[in-house]
Structure 1
């Protein structure tokens, strides 16, 4: 059987070879002989004369591991904790997983783990690898989901789904445990590599990085050899050992893993939950599974919004996380997860229950969505969903056209309650758009600007957010793209969604005309102030090419654009990008999602424009949509609505010609105690009087004044900077006292309507950088370290950069290159600092986008 996968791989390579030849021919068809043009159109059968030689070569390249180490079969590796200590076994939980956390899951986690090898838990390690990528923008049929802990419950089931082992599954000898382990071979290959100790890594480490997005990125190769093919692979690519493109494990780390593998890779059984945690789980499962229709509809609504959250009991153990799942088994029994793709998919015949399942994996920052459960939360849920006077006579079905539309499914629940639930944890909800069902997605994120600020309409000040009759009336126009719409083409999709958006805009404007007295426009009373305490009332979104970050407060310089979200917008974005998005879906599904989000962004920006002086709205809108390929329709979409309701001046007194800047200042002041900490680096340059009264610590004040000079950098020169750079200012070398800042590069675009932005859509003269206190981004592109005494010299040298040569000189002095022998010590410090400063929100950073500077 080991040859079967080899044959399949060879057949795949044959087809790839043919396609590559055809591509070359197609690119230069005018200059090639006729005989090659005939080859271009030849059927696959004409290539079979190559097959015998190709297969013979493939077999010759493979080692017969089954002959050497016996038949491969998954093993039960669980061993009692007492035996671990008595027999001198290496502990997986205490000794091995920490090494994987620090050196391996910085790349191997989530859907974008190379070769599908997720090392955040023993389950992922034992599951192994799979050569089929999850991300595929050209997929015409839906792929079978392969979600860890959901779509298969044991290793034999994963083998049936195409995953192959990275641990020994042959005979139980020491030689087999090591030589028949793909994990061991990848680590061993690294130790034989004469890895550079200075400078940029040579091209040998970049060859095969098909996913590179710029000349300095270094993406792990997508080639995924199994154990039979690895020896040949290693001879071809001796530089591609693990960790890929980084220094090798230390001698002690390698010996620990080697010893553990030689012992058969034993693992301790999962520890029982502490009694207080069990009691909390039981209490919440009872709440989520109450019997009345009203309670059941509430539970369904909560599940569809919390299913990706990392739930924790902050009053007991804030470091233990759970996932809310649907199970075929009742509380008190082992969980049997219903593996639906979307949370609103039909759970099937028979009863089901909402359960809290232990999330026993290492937390990684790119997917970490913490959500606290406590007595206050329980009381709040009762207040919002159970105390209001409404009836649920019939529970809604799971028919797809209904379940995908929350405005129909949950019509019985007062929209005021639904909206307030979303606002209570607006940071969590918005972060779900970023950290939700995908780990990365440049196409999905190309729909937003690199930097913008978000506000929300007040649930009481804006009648749209709690008018159940109006929302029910226009609910058909609020639906997200359904599954049967995923096959429509780009032009049809855009036009179809345009018609729906235009119709809803007209209904919305007519509603606002009737809801407000003649002449009255939007004012600050329509902006949610978070009850003067909730710091999610204002948010900042940073986009870093194919990832993004959401932080509380207004952070960075005054951005190009802003969003004001109302209830219908917030709910639709969640069901489009979180509840309704299928990472295993077709290209049509991804296209429909991206296209529909265009209109949600425009509606968010339109809401924002209504708060600005009337004469400044169109100039801003036209600035945001320069060079769009649909100017007439976009103009009509905005113009008709601005003409109907937008002729009204806002109920805000403006005193300057820059209404956008003035509005942001007034809105932030309106928040009162809900304001997050002031961004003293960027805001103090814009509003020095506000910062003068802060009386910062003298050392912090000096550091931030210096970094303010970095935030002044603008224009094309920012091209030399990474998207996200973590900067450590060394005070005494400790995690407690050293300072951390992030330099964020913001790219500017003519507009964000292009499906795949190119260099021609960029406005490099408008690019900026922000220096922000703390950590921004789950994917750092570079580390820099400087002593406090070097701060002014560092800033002077940074500001003098006029190209790559001077930037390289700066890196030589302050940067932490991949080749730096102390790289892992630096990475460990940044990780420890994150945990120290943000113990609840911290997760392991992803280093797969770390640049080869």
Structure 2
């Protein structure tokens, strides 16, 4: 009885403390950041409830999902901070209140949290099979008046959903805050002096008068609008975005809410910088560095040459469809070099972003491949003005017109243009100098990129990571710019099925173009065999129907052997480009006795030596791969109290990736392999294993011994961190901390929507 009384007294005292301290910014948002933002952020927030800011919480929830690949009409945009500012405006758009301030008994937020608290799961237990997880789960978004019926039908669907929930203290804080009226205090941070000075300099540059200056500024804005910009000398937590505003520098920003960044603003507008004020989430945190030196470089790059224009392009559909024609006045060399300087950023924008769920792009790419870029001095589009004039009209892209009735007609028209361009390109490159190593750009450590697909998401990292992949890309300026415009600038996540289909189909052609461009480096008489390996079975239909012929006559000057040409190329490239290869990888490409990075302690080296046994082995002889998800994270606890984190990525093999559907018919599971690398190589971890360093050899042997699902389940029981693990959130957020320790500007909350129930 005494213990019960003391417990009650403690709760009363704690609530009295909360009554004085339950400010939203200081006490409530941190709870949401820890337990909710991992699911409730970006466009894939369940029920559009975004808990990364007070604005998102006050906006509330919506019954209509943003992702809908079958809608016949584009839906209204509901972008937080952009499409409305006042609560009443959001209500008019269909959002409903989840707070009900002052009446927590009627609050949908409180009810959802209470339901989750009332139905806890056993510690580290596997969730019931009938509890559907993942982004494909059908959303149920009950309004407050519908909650009772919802709870009765879905007793395990409280919040946080299907994961270790709030602590008693966190639950009490939120309840008390709701009872006090759920006030959302606003504590904006201010740019420091170094940031403010650079903002003023960049805004002055971007808003400078003159036709030449205006067209350059527009092109730069369209290439930076999605970036989280960090200024040299800035606070590590401070990031900005460049927007179009009704108001000039020195006045409060009033952002223009256009559907796309290249839609007409309709009024005189100004480029402005605004703080990124919501919680940083890794999937949308695509960083770009600015500095006084960068500004000086940009001015030199774009404005030092003797070019001029007296025409400012319009914002019509045809201008949006062909940026090569729209921005033809700007020297192509400047445009391409600007993109090359930060190529990792640009490839991230269309592989990792901007829409949080990337299957429109990712179902057309291999599970792992390397990307190279064509050197500007050997890109004919830059060096031959006659060819550029002939090619430019053929580079228009589909998606601006989304009439479903004319989908096939539109697609045939743009495919015809693209293939005419490929034929023109093939003819001119046959007459050009033979490609050698100088044709591959090697200007900085972003010249070599690795891409890993994890079903409907993907990761880009500079450096060549993993075993030598089956395919490689070499992108020139027309390929890089078209990919960026098609998947970032012109893509509308709210668009209809016709828009999305055109985007997907055209990106298939771009991927093919990047692969075919790479083939020019191979010996001419083996190119057809390599291409057939990339497009096996049904892929040959696409080679016949949609793609143009390759050049299998013009020789390469690389001097590669006919046998194992691609593997020999990769080995020579790794040696030649070693000074700029940001990520040497002895774990996955072990060729000797030492399969670990240099400079490690004996304990850490032994860990990597053991993990190397997992890499590169086909699933046909390594059954555990069949049960591993796309992106597992391995947290290794070292004896000194430190830890290392490794990504274990499953590379799914396909006969080809040339079609929009029926992926299962092209899947080759026996050829799946694993890539193991000491970084967090996904924004969407699918599972976490936590293993002491001394037990890593045992962990590896256990995986090697797996022969069926029950055997794999034993591995999970021993070392797995399930959603119900008491320390789930500590381990999950430690992945972000690992990123922060190594690359502080890249850190953000990871997404757990795809965390699996192993």
TM-score greater than 0.5 by the shorter chain: yes
* Equivalent residues of 2:260, 2:492 under 8 A apart: yes
Q: Give secondary structure in 1 for the equivalent of 2:647.
A: strand
Distance 1:345 1:678 in 2: 43
Pairs within 5 Å for 1:673-822: 673-683=579-589, 685=590, 687-688=591-592, 694=598, 696-716=600-620, 717=623, 718-732=625-639, 734=641, 737-822=642-727
> Structure 2: how far apart are the matches of 1:693 and 1:709?
15
Q: Distance in 2 between matches of 1:383 and 1:486?
A: 43
Which of 106, 121, 139 is residue 195 of structure 1 equivalent to? Answer: 121
Give the secondary-structure state (helix, strand or coil) at the position aligned to 1:535.
coil
1:689 shift after superposition = 8.9
Displacement of 1:665:
2.3
Report the CA distance between 1:299 and its aligned residue.
Answer: 0.8
Cα pair distance change 1:776/1:464, threshold 3 Å: same
Confirm or deny: 8 A CA contact 2:74 2:496 kept in the other structure: yes
Match of 1:3 in 2: none
Cα deviation for residue 272 of structure 1 reads 5.2
- Answer whether contact 1:407 1:471 (CA < 8 A) is retained: no
Residue of structure 1 in register with 2:501 after alignment: 591
* Partners of 2:523 and 2:561 within 8 A in 1: no
Tell me which of 415, 421, 432 is aligned to 2:338: 421
| Distance change in 2, residues 1:132/1:263 (3 Å) | same
Whole-angstrom distance in 1 between the partners of 2:19 and 2:175? 17
Aligned pair partner of 1:526 in 434, 439, 455:
439
Alignment check: 8 A CA contact 1:576 1:593 kept: yes
In 2: Cα distance, 1:211 partner to 1:430 partner: 24
Q: Classify the secondary structure of the residue corresponding to 2:200.
A: helix
Q: Could you give the per-residue CA deviations for residues 199-236 of structure 1, whole angstroms, max 9, x where no partner exists?
A: 31113533xx5954xxxxxx4x5000011111221122
CA contact (8 A) 2:32 2:52 kept: yes
Are 1:141 and 2:58 an aligned pair? Answer: no
1:389-436 CA distance string (max 9 Å, x none): 100211111122023311011101110000000000000000000233
- Unpaired runs of 5+ residues, structure 2, are 1-15
Cα distance change on mapping 1:469 and 1:100 into 2, 3 Å: farther
CA shift digits 1:276-324 (9 cap, x unpaired): 1333322221121111222111110110010000011132223211111
Q: Distance in 1 between matches of 2:639 and 2:147?
A: 46
Match of residue 71 from structure 1: none
> Quick one: distance in 2 between partners of 1:492 and 1:749?
30
Q: Hey, what's the Cα distance between the residues in 1 that align with 2:597 and 2:45?
A: 48
Gaps of 5+ in 1: 1-83, 213-218
The answer on 1:628 being equivalent to 2:538 is yes
Aligned with 1:726: secondary structure? strand
- Mapped to 2, the partners of 1:693 and 1:361 lie a distance apart of 37
Q: Aligned equivalents of 1:397 and 1:378: distance in 2?
A: 26
Which residue of structure 2 lines up, in the alignment, with residue 310 of structure 1? 228
2:261 to 343, 346, 349: 343
Runs of at least 4 residues of structure 1 off by over 6 A?
Answer: 84-87, 689-693
- Structure 2 residue 736 is matched with structure 1 residue 827: no
| 1:685-744 per-position Cα deviation (integer Å, ceiling 9, x unaligned) | 2x439979956543332221111101143125322111100001101475xx20110100
3-state SS of the aligned residue for 1:165?
coil
Match of 1:383 in 2: 300
Instruction: Please state if 1:650 is matched with 2:556.
Output: yes
From 546, 563, 570, the equivalent of 2:480 is 570
Structure 2 CA distance for partners of 1:182 and 1:567, relative to 1, 3 Å = same
User: In the TM superposition, what are the counterparts of 1:607-618 in structure 2 within 5 Å?
Assistant: 607-618=517-528
* Partner of residue 669, structure 1: 575
Determine the C-alpha separation between the residues in 2 that align with 1:611 and 1:85: 69
Cα distance in 1 for partners of 2:593, 2:393 equals 50
Report if aligned partners of 2:446, 2:463 keep a CA contact under 8 Å in 1.
yes
Question: Would you say the 8 A contact 1:741–1:771 is kept in 2?
Answer: yes
Kindly report which structure 2 residues correspond to 1:389-538, keeping only aligned pairs within 5 A, or say none.
389-484=306-401, 487=404, 492=409, 495-516=412-433, 521-530=434-443, 534-538=444-448
Shift of 1:167: 1.1
TM-score, normalised via structure 1 length = 0.83
In the TM superposition, 1:545-556 aligns within 5 A as 545-556=455-466
Query: For residues 570 and 632 of structure 1, do their structure 2 counterparts lie closer, same or farther at Cα, with a shift above 3 Å needed?
Result: closer
Residue of structure 1 equivalent to 2:45: 113
Question: Do 2:603 and 2:693's aligned partners in 1 also have CA atoms closer than 8 Å?
Answer: no
What's the offset of the Cα at 1:462?
Answer: 3.0
SS of the residue corresponding to residue 376 of structure 2 reads: coil
Which has the higher mean CA deviation after the structures are superposed, 486-495 or 380-389?
486-495
Distance in 2 of aligned mates of 1:852 and 1:482? 38
Count of residue pairs the alignment pairs up: 739
3-state SS of 1:120 partner: coil
Matched, 1:95 2:27: yes
- Report whether the alignment pairs 1:284 with 2:211: no
Does the CA-based 8 Å contact 2:320-2:490 persist in structure 1?
no
CA distance in 2, matches of 1:234, 1:606: 55
Q: Residues 321, 695 of structure 1: CA spacing in aligned structure 2 closer, same or farther, 3 A cutoff?
A: closer
In structure 2, the CA distance between the partners of 1:125 and 1:692, relative to structure 1 (3 Å rule), is closer
Distance in 2 (CA, whole Å) between partners of 1:486 and 1:525 is 45
Q: Residue 633 of structure 2 contacts residue 680 of structure 2 at CA under 8 Å; is this kept in 1?
A: yes
Question: Structure 1: how far apart are the matches of 2:717 and 2:25?
Answer: 38
1:137-186 deviation digits (Å, cap 9, x = unpaired): 111111010000111112111111000011115xxx4xx1x112211111
Alpha carbons 1:780, 1:850 under 8 Å: kept? yes
TM (norm. structure 2) is: 0.94
> Cα offset for 1:373?
1.2
Whether the 8 Å CA contact 1:447–1:598 is kept in 2: the answer is yes
RMSD of aligned Cα (Å): 2.2
| Pairwise CA distance, 1:837 | 2.2
